[in-house]
Amino acid sequence: MPSERELFDQRLSKRAQLLESSDPYPARVERTHTAAEAVQAFLDAGEVDEQVAVTVVGRVTAQRVMGKAAFLDLRDQSGRIQLHFRRDRLEDFDRIDLVDLGDFLEVSGTLFRTRTGEVTVAVAKWRIVTKALRPLPDKFHGLTDTEARYRQRYLDLIANERSREVAFTRSRVVSAIRRFFLDRGFLEVETPVLQDNAGGAAARPFLTHHNALDRDLAMRISLELHLKRLLVGGFEKVFEIGRVFRNEGISYRHNPEFTLLESYEAYADYEDVARMVEDLLGAVALEVLGGTDLTHGEHTVSLQAPFARTTYHRALLDHTGIDFYQYRSVDALSEVARERGVRTEAGASWGTVLDALMSEFVEPKLIQPTFIFDYPTEISPLAKRKVDDPSVVERFELFALGYEIANAYSELNDPVDQRDRMMEQASKKAEGDEEAEIADEDFLVAIEHGMPPAGGLGIGVDRVVQLMTGEHSLREVILFPTMRERQAERHELSDEDDGAS
C-alpha cells in the first residue's frame, strides 16, 4: 500500500488488531541483555547452542520471513542481534504478520549460532512493545536527503551510523571539556539567558518580551559579563558551557544558537590562558580520538602543544605586507585594503577593516593550530591594553583549519578605562553599528567594586566538535540545526479514526 496514507492506515489497523489481545504500548518491559551483551554472553559461555537465555528489546530493522520460519534483525543502542522465529516452537508465530519494520519488540529465548555463523536468539516468547505507524527509511540506501536528515534527525540517527557517531563524539567532547575544568578547580556556573542587554560580543541579539513584567528582554550573545561579575563576587575560577544566540545569517559555519564555553581565572593573564588552551585541546583530543593528530581532508592537524604563535601585527605583515602602524587612519587603511581587493563598507572603522584583511588573507591559511596575539584595542573593548602599546590589547585568538577556535584576553579590570571604551562602543551603536558593544551600566558598577586581574577564554564548542569529527558543516554536529519554517506540512495523518479501516 504505497501511498503514505495507505501505509499509515495499514499499520493503524495492525495496531487495532494487537489491541484486541494485548497492549502494543506497555509501560514495562523486561531486558536482561543488550544486543552486544547477549552476543558476549554467548561467547563467554563457551558458545554452546541453546544454553544462554536472554531477554532483549529493540527495534526491528529487517525481516526475512519464510513461511514456517523467520529471521528478524533487532537493533538497540549497543548494536544489532538476529532473532529466529520458528512455527514449531511458537504458538503465536502467525502474529509476526503484525510486525512492521520500525516496531519495538521484547524477545526472550536462548542463543545459538546459525549455519552462516551468526549468533542468534531462538525465540521462545515475544511481544510487540511499540507499534510504529510510519515506515522507516530505505534499509539499504538509508536516508540521504540532507534536508530530511536535519529536519527529522531521528530518522537520520536510525539510518546513518555516521550521524550516531558524531552525536556520541560531541557528548564526549563536552564531558571532556567539563572534566578538564573541574579537575583544575574551576566552579561550573549558570548565568542568565534572558537579559536586559545582550553584551560581551559583537553580534545582534534576539529580542523577546516578558509579559508579567511587561519588560523587553534580550537573549544572551555571550557569557562574559555575568561570569566577570562572579570574579567580583570572589569566585576565582569559573566556567560555563552554555547556549548563546546570535541573530545573524545561517550558513555551514553559523547557527543562530550555538554552544559557547567561557572560563575566567583570577590572577592569570592571557599567557596562562594560552597554555591552558593547549592543554585543554590536547586533553580533549586524547580522550575523544586517542591521540593529538587528526586528519581533515588532505590536512593533518597536530594538537600537540606548543602551538605556533604570532602576533596580529606580524601575521598581517607576513601575509599582506601591510604594516598597520603605517596606516593609522581608516581612510589610509581602507585604501590599501581596496588595493588588495578587499571591499570595505562605507561606515567601516579602522578595526573592522583590519579584521576584514585578517579574515581574507590570514585566517584561511592557519591550518595548524596557531595563536594570534595582541589585537587592536578598537575591536577588543573588554580586553586590557598592553603596557608598552595601548593601541593593542592582551588578547589572542586560536585558529585551526582556517577558522577561529578560541578567543581570550587578559580581562580589562580598570573600571574607568572600561567605562570609556563601552561609551565609545555605545556611540558607535548610536551611529548605526548594530554589532557594537552595549554599555552595560550594571556591569560597570560591578567592576567598580573591584574585579581582580584575570584571564578569560571563550571557545566555540561546536567548532571543537567539528575539529574532532572532521565534519565540514556545523549542521552535522548540531543535532537539530535551525531551519527555515516549512509550510504546508503534509504529515498530519493521525486525526482520522485510529482503530478501524
Partner RNA sequence: GGGCCCGUAGCUCAGCGGUUAGAGCAGCGGACUUUUAAUCCGUCGGUCCAGGGUUCGAAUCCCUGCGGGCCUACCA
Amino acid occupying residue 25: Y
CA distances from 14 to 2, 7, 25 (A): 16, 11, 13
Contacts of 151 (CB under 8 A, 6+ apart): 483, 486
Q: In the window 60-79, what residues touch RNA (CB under 7 A)?
A: 62-69, 71, 73
Among 30, 145, 414, 420, binds RNA (CB under 7 A): 145
Of 401 and 446, nearer to RNA (C-beta) is 401
Among 34, 82, 310, 370, binds RNA (CB under 7 A): 82
Query: Minimum distance from CB of 146 to RNA (Å)?
Result: 4
Largest CA distance in the chain: 90
Phi, psi of 240 (to 5 degrees): -145, 140
Of 128 and 143, nearer to RNA (C-beta) is 143
Give yes or no for residue 484 binding RNA (CB under 7 A).
yes
User: Are residues 396 and 366 in contact, defined by beta-carbon separation less than 8 angstroms?
Assistant: no
Of 46 and 290, nearer to RNA (C-beta) is 46
User: Are residues 197 and 425 in contact, defined by beta-carbon separation less than 8 angstroms?
Assistant: no
Q: Is the four-CA dihedral 363, 366, 367, 368 of positive or negative sign?
A: negative
Among 251, 300, 427, 501, binds RNA (CB under 7 A): 251
Give yes or no for residue 437 binding RNA (CB under 7 A).
no
Of 449 and 491, nearer to RNA (C-beta) is 491
User: Are residues 288 and 176 in contact, defined by beta-carbon separation less than 8 angstroms?
Assistant: yes
Of 255 and 310, nearer to RNA (C-beta) is 255
Give yes or no for residue 421 binding RNA (CB under 7 A).
no
d(CA 171, CA 180): 14
CA distances from 222 to 14, 185, 253, 459 (A): 51, 22, 17, 11
CB atoms inside a 10 Å sphere around CB 241: 19
Give yes or no for residue 255 binding RNA (CB under 7 A).
yes
User: Are residues 329 and 363 in contact, defined by beta-carbon separation less than 8 angstroms?
Assistant: no
Q: Applying CB under 7 A, what is the total number of residues that bind RNA?
A: 88
Query: Minimum distance from CB of 40 to RNA (Å)?
Result: 18
Q: What share of the chain is helix, strand, coil (3-state, %, to 5)?
A: 35, 25, 40
Query: Minimum distance from CB of 35 to RNA (Å)?
Result: 13
Give yes or no for residue 488 binding RNA (CB under 7 A).
yes
Give yes or no for residue 17 binding RNA (CB under 7 A).
no
DSSP 221-251: S-SHHHHHHHHHTT-SEEEEEEEEE--S--B
Give yes or no for residue 92 binding RNA (CB under 7 A).
no
Of 211 and 295, nearer to RNA (C-beta) is 295
Among 16, 236, 403, 426, binds RNA (CB under 7 A): 403
Per-residue x/- track, 198-237, RNA (CB under 7 A): ---xxx----------------------------------
Query: Minimum distance from CB of 219 to RNA (Å)?
Result: 13
Among 56, 111, 143, 277, binds RNA (CB under 7 A): 143
Among 125, 486, 496, 498, binds RNA (CB under 7 A): 486
Give yes or no for residue 147 binding RNA (CB under 7 A).
yes
Where is 72: in which H helix or E strand? strand 69-76
User: Are residues 107 and 84 in contact, defined by beta-carbon separation less than 8 angstroms?
Assistant: no
Give yes or no for residue 312 binding RNA (CB under 7 A).
no
Give yes or no for residue 380 binding RNA (CB under 7 A).
no
Give yes or no for residue 256 binding RNA (CB under 7 A).
yes
Give yes or no for residue 114 binding RNA (CB under 7 A).
yes
For cell 541579539, the residue is 205
Tell me whether the omega of the peptide bond preceding residue 381 falls within 30 degrees of 0, making it cis. no
d(CA 290, CA 92): 49
Give yes or no for residue 335 binding RNA (CB under 7 A).
no
Among 140, 185, 214, 495, binds RNA (CB under 7 A): 140
- Residue closest to 180 by CA, chosen among 471, 479, 464: 464
Give yes or no for residue 144 binding RNA (CB under 7 A).
yes
Stretch that binds RNA, among 131-139, 172-180, 291-299, 424-432 (CB under 7 A): 131-139
Among 269, 271, 473, 479, binds RNA (CB under 7 A): 473
Stretch that binds RNA, among 178-186, 294-302, 330-338, 477-485 (CB under 7 A): 477-485
Give yes or no for residue 100 binding RNA (CB under 7 A).
yes
For cell 559461555, the residue is 45
Rg, the chain, Cα only: 29
